[in-house]
């Protein structure tokens, strides 16, 4: 029907999920930096992989100095440095020459699931989020250690390592208000 929102088909581009995270944070007056956004995306993807057994977004996650990073999202918001992000990723359509912000429209169950994760982790400081992602035995540390042993181009964090970590209790779940997801 005309005017009706169409739910997004998963997986989507991580930049569109980033826009969604920023919108949820803005609606709750929680400022988000690029560093924090990267970690929240990682926690969303890991919990989503475990809970729904599918990817939320298709972009690879890389192990950078301060934790997991989705390169395309980082590049989109790097001009903000350590300041809160106040814009959204814009896409351009070469055919009709328009520029627009893609809207990620999750179904109600996915929205509730993600909003709980987003709001739980968004309340944490960026340094606390970095600390969580650097946990002993975690996917970030595994990728860094693998790189020290052999080449790991782009220091990609394997999805199955993320899934295995998020199946373990405690450290990768939202700290409060998780609601049993």
- Domain of 80 in residue numbering reads as 14-164
Is 73 contained in some domain? yes
* pLDDT, tens digit, 9 for 90 and up, residues 3-60: 456 677 889 999 999 999 999 999 999 999 999 999 999 999 999 999 999 999 999 9
Is 41 contained in some domain? yes
* Number of domains making up the chain: 1
SS3 assignment, position 117: helix
pTM of the full predicted structure? 0.82
Question: Taking the alpha carbons of 163, 164, 170, 171 in that order, is the dihedral positive or negative?
Answer: negative
Terminal Cα distance for the chain, rounded: 32
| Nearest partner of 84 among 131, 27, 37, judged by Cα | 37
Is 8 contained in some domain? no
* pLDDT, tens digit, 9 for 90 and up, residues 136-158: 888 888 888 877 766 555 678 88
Give the whole-angstrom CA distance, residue 14 versus residue 69.
11
* pLDDT, tens digit, 9 for 90 and up, residues 110-132: 999 999 999 999 999 999 999 99
C-alpha distances in Å from residue 63, one per residue of 18, 130, 138, 142, 150? 18, 11, 11, 9, 15
Is 71 contained in some domain? yes
Strands (E) across 11-142 are located at 62-64, 67-69, 91-93, 98-100
Is 101 contained in some domain? yes
């Amino acid at each position: 029907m005309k005017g009706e929102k169409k739910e997004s088909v998963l997986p989507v581009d991580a930049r569109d999920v980033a826009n969604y995270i920023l919108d949820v944070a803005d609606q709750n007056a929680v400022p988000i930096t690029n560093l924090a956004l990267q970690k929240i995306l990682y926690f969303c993807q890991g919990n989503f992989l475990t809970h729904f057994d599918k990817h939320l977004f298709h972009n690879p996650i890389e192990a950078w100095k301060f934790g997991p990073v989705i390169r395309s999202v980082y590049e989109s918001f790097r001009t903000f440095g350590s300041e809160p992000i106040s814009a959204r990723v814009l896409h351009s359509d070469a055919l009709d020459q328009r520029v627009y912000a893609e809207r990620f429209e999750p179904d109600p169950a996915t929205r509730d699931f993600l909003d709980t994760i987003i709001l739980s982790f968004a309340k944490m400081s960026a340094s606390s989020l970095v600390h969580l992602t650097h946990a002993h035995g975690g996917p970030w540390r595994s990728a860094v250690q693998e790189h020290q042993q052999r080449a790991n181009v782009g220091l990609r964090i394997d999805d199955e390592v993320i899934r295995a970590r998020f199946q373990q209790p405690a450290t990768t779940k939202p700290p409060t208000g998780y609601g049993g997801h």
